[in-house]
A and B are shown apart, each in its own frame.
Chain A
Amino acid sequence: MAFRFFINCDDAHVLSTRDQYKDLNPKELFRLNLHKSHCNGCRKFHKTNDIFTRKMNGLKWIKLTLEQKQKIKARLKEQMKAK
């Protein structure tokens, strides 16, 4: 399949999202950058996407530890058996 340089805005938006998770290979990154170079809307979208990622990464997400999860699971299992 021939290498497709130009992509539409829908594809560019999905690539922009994948880029936030560092999931793009060099070809895809090139396509995204090429599209952004001539599409103001996608450039703007990518910038907002970047801000969103930055803000989200700055948040402290407090998670349950594996041990805490096991404890809750055990309680739940017990209750399900008793039912």
Chain B
Amino acid sequence: MPEVKLIPEKWVDRYGDYLFNYTITRINDPVLAQDLVSETFLAGLKSAHRFQGNSTERTWLVSILKRKIIDQYRKQNSKKGKAEVRVSYLETSDQEGDWLEERVGDMRNPTVEDEIEQKELGEALSACIDSLPERYATIFVQKSIDNLETETICKEHNITASNLWVILHRARVQLMDCLKDKWFNEN
């Protein structure tokens, strides 16, 4: 495997959206998610000297982000009284109702099922993108998620359009293969 060099100047453009999306599916707070992404980049910069080049830049940043997310969960859970706030469902003592029945979504509602499916698929796809080679993953995200122009991507990576389509094709085949057991067994 060729040695990977870190290019912090390009981190935000290359991995910002991906890391933000990764965070928001785990922490449902856009402001906090932005902070965590920002802190991940800063932590990456700080510990850049420890990067050995054995993994890709993105995988390395994701591993830093994962630790940040776990720290965030710990922080939230260590705040005393949080649990009590969560269970105080009824605003006044006059109100009556079943907490569980009212809180749980209606599973027969197709929009709820769709949302759950979308969330699961999004997470599965993110995991599969993680397993792609660095270049494939970056190009796939730029073309399919960021919807960048072919020409722009070719210029950035210094490749021809034909190369780009072959890379994109291979990336998609690997992703479909990665997702097929759960998501492509339908007709």
Contact = CB atoms under 8 A, between A and B. Distances in A.
A59 B143 CA distance: 15
Main secondary structure of the interface of A (DSSP, over half): helix
A27 interface: no
Interface in A64-83: 64, 68-69, 71-73, 75-76, 79-80, 83
A26 interface: no
Contact of A79 (B16, B45, B172): B45
Given A18-B165, A48-B176, A71 B125 contact: no
Interface stretch (B36-44, B71-79, B91-99): B36-44
Interface of A: 13-14, 17-18, 20-21, 23, 48-49, 51-52, 55-56, 58-64, 68-69, 71-73, 75-76, 79-80, 83
Interface residues of B, number: 38
B87 interface: no
Interface string B1-27: 000000010011100110011001000
A52 B121 contact: no
B61 interface: no
Interface stretch (B52-60, B104-112, B144-152): B144-152
B172 A59 contact: no
Contact of A76 (B41, B144, B150, B166): B41
